[in-house]
């Protein structure tokens, strides 16, 4: 497109965004469980068996002490990055700390050395022993909730994680494909980090919730599910329940049929308690599956149930990411093709007009040719005058759009949240905080609705201008459909629901602590800001798409005037110029037809890319 002068700045930005989405869009899967459910062992079995050993720490007791993300960024070397727990004493949220690389402890990973990788990653299990007062300031001790507090040792100290968050960058085949694994700590640690439950887990595309096959759904499991994982979406389709440690039911005193009956009963009971479809409950033995992969024991691997879980992950998660990206490619390329087609049609129409003009000059004298030149110049002047009016209308359009951006910007959000932020820093019970949260969400919903109305008004104004230009100059301008901000309103609903778990009577004592309430407010602010920025980006790209069409067709018409005047000048200077120019136009029309066919071929190829099969995805899961 660039080589044929068909690429304008707005279209280039759209293509770059599309390419960036395909290259970098992540599919996050959160692995969530109470302590000692075998969560880290399951991650080892699925992703790291080809190392021939455990990579994630998976010994008895508490292993994952801080939230850990596994992903891959080609711009960074393989590494483990750790954020010190002390950062919780400062006002910045986790999203802000991600941008401050110098505050993280960076440990290089030698991906060819399994021992070095495993030893380095063991650091996510490191703990510190601190006083009760320090634990309280870090958010791990609540005087009003003694049952949730860690055990005090003989020295009067308690155990807390050494790290607030961990990022593992590894070039695993599936991580390179865009998968991100979020390994979360248990109930107490999950509840202590509002940003984890308000932002990271709700934004995960899928959640793998791990239970013990020997225990089923315990009280603490049910608390995690109800407070942090239950979804308002019909059926909770993005929730997968893994009943781990089925090997504990392999009783030599029971027949295989009895063991299977017991396992199926446990699956049905767990599914019923969590209100999910039975197909979403998958029984596995992560430990036996890992051993089977390392020892190449096919029979043990089948018995572990791990292949079935990998099949579900491949189909429901990676397949889902493919569908999202394929839809984005199809929509983006189709829009590109339509806009480019309009520019080509303008060029073709200009060539037809020039051909009619030149054919009418056959056998005419110099005065007729000179008169035609003056007429083209007059048309050019009139067009330039119209262009000035068009630019004035664009100025109005951009002013209206700037007002929309301001209403959705960071400054407006800060104003919306000012009262809530102030009250969160006060000590004591915050009995009216639920109402304040409701006010914040209502204000932002109002801002989104106002932005939608403004965008619709801008579209109506552009449609009127485009109709006039199409009639006056033969353009084929078409205003793109206004972005529907209703999707962002749904995001607000989800955020409000995830936030509401902290506003219940059970959490009123936690909210009484200014540090916890402030962390909760900051986490909410970052999440809302991300939603509003996404809405603003959509509106900005829509506006650029509309004005880019106008710029492209105005530019084509200006170039057409220049070519027409040049053609008349050449005809005046040489007797053979007329025939030569007609021949050139005929050649240009043929080249334009070939260009159109070539663009159709290229865009059709992009929209018909072969889909990665489920077998290929399973191969990636198995680390081949």
Each residue of 349-393: pLDDT tens digit? 888 888 887 787 776 667 787 888 888 888 888 888 877 777 777
Share of the chain above pLDDT 90, in %: 19
The edge-to-edge listing of strands for the beta sheet with 27-32 is: 105-108, 79-84, 163-169, 68-71, 179-183, 27-32, 206-212, 239-244, 281-283
- Of 40, 25, 51, 59, the C-alpha closest to 208 is 40
- Domain boundary (288, 304, 320) is at 304
CA distance 382 to 376: 10
Phi and psi torsions of 93, nearest 5°? -85, 170
Average pLDDT, the chain: 82
Domain membership of residue 316 (yes or no) is no
pLDDT number for residue 576: 60
Contacts of 167 (CB under 8 A, 6+ apart): 68, 69, 71, 80, 81, 104
Average pLDDT over residues 425-440: 77
Same domain, 274 and 212: yes
3-state SS, residue 160: strand
Number of domains the chain is built from: 3
> Is residue 163's pLDDT more than 50?
yes
Angle subtended at Cα 198 by Cα 152 and Cα 540, rounded to the nearest 5 degrees: 150
Same domain, 503 and 564: yes
> Is residue 248's pLDDT more than 60?
yes
CA distance 281 to 244: 10
Same domain, 133 and 43: no
CA 463 to each of CA 391, 394, 476: distance values in angstroms, whole numbers, following the listed order: 15, 12, 12
Residue 519, Ramachandran bin (φ over 0: left; ψ between -120 and 50: alpha; else beta): alpha
Same domain, 52 and 86: yes
Work out the pLDDT band at 498, boundaries 50, 70, 90.
confident
Same domain, 148 and 208: no
pLDDT number for residue 341: 85
**Maximum average pLDDT range among 98-102, 143-147, 470-474:** 98-102
Residue 275, Ramachandran bin (φ over 0: left; ψ between -120 and 50: alpha; else beta): left
**Maximum average pLDDT range among 107-116, 212-221, 357-366:** 107-116
pLDDT number for residue 235: 42
Same domain, 149 and 173: no
Phi and psi torsions of 12, nearest 5°? -65, -40
Which range marks the domain in which residue 147 is found? 127-161
pLDDT number for residue 119: 92
- Chain-centroid distance of CA 483 in Å reads 17
CA distance 169 to 74: 9
Characterize 287-320 residue by residue with b for buried, 16 or more Cβ atoms within 10 angstroms of its Cβ, and e for exposed. Answer: bbbbbbbeeeeeebbebbbbbebbbbbbebbbbe
Contact by Cβ (8 Å): 136, 88: no
DSSP 278: G
pTM of the model: 0.69
pLDDT number for residue 508: 65
Contacts of 223 (CB under 8 A, 6+ apart): 187
pLDDT number for residue 621: 57
**CATH classification at residue 62:** 3.40.50.300
């Amino acid at each position: 497109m660039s080589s044929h002068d068909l690429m304008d700045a707005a279209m280039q930005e759209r293509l770059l965004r599309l390419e960036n989405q395909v290259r970098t869009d992540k599919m996050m899967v959160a692995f969530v469980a109470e302590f000692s459910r075998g969560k880290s062992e399951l991650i080892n079995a699925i992703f790291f068996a080809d190392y021939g050993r455990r990579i994630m720490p998976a010994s008895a007791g508490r292993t994952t002490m801080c939230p850990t993300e596994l992903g891959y960024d080609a711009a960074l070397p393989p590494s483990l990055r750790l954020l010190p727990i002390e950062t919780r004493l400062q006002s910045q949220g986790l999203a802000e700390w991600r941008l401050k690389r110098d505050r993280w402890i960076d440990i290089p990973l030698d991906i060819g050395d399994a021992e070095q990788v495993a030893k380095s990653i063991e650091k996510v299990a490191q703990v510190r022993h601190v006083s009760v007062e320090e634990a309280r300031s870090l958010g791990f001790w609540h005087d009003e909730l003694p049952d949730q507090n860690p055990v005090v040792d003989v020295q009067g100290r308690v155990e807390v994680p050494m790290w607030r968050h961990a990022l593992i960058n590894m070039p695993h085949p599936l991580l390179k494909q865009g998968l991100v694994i979020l390994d979360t700590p248990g109930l107490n640690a999950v509840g202590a980090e509002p940003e984890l439950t308000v932002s990271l887990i709700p934004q995960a595309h899928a959640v793998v919730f791990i239970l013990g096959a020997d225990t089923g759904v315990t009280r603490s499991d049910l608390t995690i599910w109800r407070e942090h994982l239950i979804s308002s979406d019909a059926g909770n389709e993005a929730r997968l329940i893994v009943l781990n440690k089925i090997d504990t039911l392999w009783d030599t005193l029971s027949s295989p049929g009895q063991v299977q009956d017991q396992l199926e009963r446990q699956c049905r009971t767990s599914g019923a308690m969590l209100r999910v479809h039975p197909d979403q409950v998958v029984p596995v033995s992560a430990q036996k599956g890992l051993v089977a992969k390392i020892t190449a024991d096919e029979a043990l691997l089948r018995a572990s149930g791990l292949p079935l879980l990998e099949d579900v992950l491949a189909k429901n998660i990676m397949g889902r990411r493919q569908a999202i990206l394929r839809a984005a490619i199809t929509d983006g390329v189709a829009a590109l093709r339509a806009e480019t087609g309009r520019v080509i049609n303008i060029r073709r129409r200009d060539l037809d007009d020039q051909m009619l003009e030149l054919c009418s000059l056959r056998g005419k004298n110099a005065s007729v040719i000179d008169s035609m030149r003056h007429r083209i110049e007059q048309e050019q002047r009139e067009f330039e005058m119209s262009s000035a009016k068009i630019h004035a209308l664009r100025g109005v359009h951009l002013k209206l759009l700037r007002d929309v951006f301001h209403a959705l910007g960071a400054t407006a959000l800060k104003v919306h949240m000012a009262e809530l932020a102030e009250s969160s820093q006060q000590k004591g019970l915050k009995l009216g905080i639920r109402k304040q949260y409701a006010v914040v969400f209502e204000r932002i919903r109002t801002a989104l609705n106002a932005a939608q109305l403004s965008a619709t008004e801008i579209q109506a104004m552009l449609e009127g201008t485009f109709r006039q230009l199409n009639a006056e100059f033969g353009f084929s301008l078409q205003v793109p459909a206004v972005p529907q901000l209703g999707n962002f309103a749904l995001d607000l609903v989800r955020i409000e629901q995830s936030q509401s778990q902290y506003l219940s009577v059970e959490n009123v004592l936690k909210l009484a602590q200014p540090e916890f309430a402030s962390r909760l407010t900051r986490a909410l602010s970052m999440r809302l800001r991300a939603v509003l920025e996404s809405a603003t980006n959509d509106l900005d790209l829509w506006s650029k798409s509309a004005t880019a069409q106008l710029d492209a067709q105005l530019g084509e018409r200006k170039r057409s005037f220049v070519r027409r005047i040049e053609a008349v000048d050449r005809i005046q200077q040489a007797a053979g110029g007329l025939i030569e120019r007609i021949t050139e136009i005929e050649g240009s029309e043929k080249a334009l037809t070939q260009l159109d066919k070539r663009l159709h071929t290229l865009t059709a190829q992009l929209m018909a890319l072969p889909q990665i099969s489920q077998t290929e995805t399973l191969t990636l899961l198995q680390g081949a």
